[in-house]
Amino acid sequence: MIVRGADLDGTRTDLRLDDGVVTEIAPALPRRPAEPVVEAAGGAVLPGLVDHHLHLFALAAALRSTPCGLPLDAAGLARALGDAPADETGWVRGTGYVETVAGDLDAAALDALHSRRPVRIQHRSGALWTVNGLAAARLGLAAADHPGIERRPDGTPTGRLWRADDWLRAHLPPAGPPDLAEVGRRLAAVGITAVTDATPDLDTVALDALTGAVRGGRLPQRVHLLGAPLGSTPAAPLTAGPYKIVLADSGLPSLDDLADRIRAVHAAGRAVAVHCVTREALVLLLVALDEAGSRPGDRIEHAALVPPELVPDLAARGLRVVTQPGFLADRGQDYLRDLPVADHADLYRCRSLLAAGVPLALSSDAPYGPLDPWAVLGAAVTRHTPDGTVAGAGETLPPRAALDAYLAALGCPGGPARRVEPGAPADLVLLDRPLAAALRALDEVRVDVTIIAGVAVHGAG
């Protein structure tokens, strides 16, 4: 195929793509017989965007779930649950709940909203599920044994389940993994050509479903996995990345246990990707790495709160950071309200990490954060909360630096931005405007065409 009239680094350019590779770049290329042509009309051509941290199956499930967050109130949530279609097993699944809708939910509070069908609602953080009384009975919570099942002093379950996704999945009525075709379409529509799935501890059912979705073209993106089991190699074309370790703020491991786990991962030939959203988790990780040693490719997921005195420690250990400033645009005013003022500058640091030499990648954490990379990039540049407040003005990124943080190679978050050049994979994005105009308002950009391995998967007729 020929891409004609694209803006490449400020120059009007034609590109030829052949066998999944960019083969020629010139001011004007003659068309070969029957060669498809994509007209860029002066829009920028970029390497395809890479989302270095999201959750594919959770995103697919969220697309078929009932939204339970703002702007709903308690009455609106009750109506939404009442109108929600049940899944094939009769359950209602809700996502995105936040306490400002109807307070701290437990089984009794959820029963007051909807009690005639089993309901489970996920908190927008992804760390908590709340079930109503009928669901609790069907799950057998009263007799269940899992540390995440919250109980009252008398031992009865509250209906709240903390970081118990695997347990919950095993005790729900049998259902296969959700189809990923719509996820693939939505990713392509915003220019994402490769993703790192950050779901921990993927089982064989999930791995087989991912492999089938990619091989079958329903998920056209290149896929890198943090949850691939140690000692295993995912089936091609999937690849294994660092091994995901979750430091849950609801129950941190001991220093010895964490250090031993890091040693085991490193011994298996993998780096670690460690979920850290609190200051305490970050300090624990840094001390554990002192005990266990670091490995190239070790990375921190989220780094939601990083005190300034720890920034040099991240750089000294060679740690990469994969963070999500999109959360500021999505719920930043909640952070500013709920966190001490002294912590506000520590939220989702970007500029200070880059200045210290910490490799930095931006990502979505979808479905828990906004999927659209252009909204994430806009948040990195402005750091605006929903009400327009600036959260951490000293951490804004220049537009080009923000964009580059979505352009690193799939296995190298925070590495150098990929370039459109002869010999590069034909994973490309054509924008609706030249690059200079895009950089002036990244959150307004629209994607006209997305190409993966030389095939247009979005746009182009």
As a whole number, mean pLDDT of residues 69-74 equals 93
Residue at token pair 């709340």: 130
Predicted TM-score (pTM) of the model is 0.92
pLDDT surpassing 80 at residue 105: yes
Mean pLDDT of the chain: 96
User: How many residues comprise the chain?
Assistant: 461
The class (CATH top level) of 1-48+420-461 is mainly beta
pLDDT bracket for residue 249 (50, 70, 90): confident
pLDDT surpassing 90 at residue 29: yes
Q: What is the pLDDT of residue 461?
A: 67
Chain center to CA of 143? 35
Give CA–CA dist 205/303, Å, rounded: 30
Q: Which CATH architecture fits 65-171?
A: Roll (3.10)
Q: What is the pLDDT of residue 189?
A: 98
Beta carbons of 228 and 85 less than 8 angstroms apart: no
Residues 6 or more apart in contact with residue 309 via CB below 8 angstroms? none
Of residues 285, 275, 310, the one with CA closest to residue 126: 275
Q: Return the exposure string of 76-87: e unless at least 16 CB atoms fall within 10 Å of the residue's CB, then b.
A: ebbebbeebeeb
pLDDT surpassing 80 at residue 176: no
pLDDT surpassing 80 at residue 27: yes
Q: Where in the chain is the domain with CATH 3.10.310.70?
A: 65-171
pLDDT bracket for residue 174 (50, 70, 90): confident
Yes or no: is domain 49-55+178-417 CATH 3.40.50.150? Answer: no
As a whole number, mean pLDDT of residues 220-243 equals 96
Two tokens at 458? 């979005």
Q: Where in the chain is the domain with CATH 2.30.40.10?
A: 1-48+420-461
Of residues 397, 396, 425, 423, the one with CA closest to residue 409: 425
Q: What percent of the chain has pLDDT over 90?
A: 94
Q: CB 319: neighbour CB atoms within 10 A? A: 24
Of residues 32, 26, 31, the one with CA closest to residue 13: 26
pLDDT surpassing 70 at residue 327: yes
pLDDT bracket for residue 169 (50, 70, 90): confident
**Element holding 224 (H helix, E strand):** strand 222-225
As a whole number, mean pLDDT of residues 87-113 equals 94
Q: Where in the chain is the domain with CATH 3.20.20.140?
A: 49-55+178-417
Q: What is the pLDDT of residue 243?
A: 98
Q: What is the pLDDT of residue 448?
A: 98
Distance between the two ends of the chain, CA-based, in angstroms? 14
pLDDT surpassing 70 at residue 179: yes
Give CA–CA dist 444/376, Å, rounded: 11
Give CA–CA dist 308/289, Å, rounded: 19
Beta carbons of 61 and 178 less than 8 angstroms apart: yes
Q: What is the pLDDT of residue 451?
A: 98
pLDDT bracket for residue 135 (50, 70, 90): very high
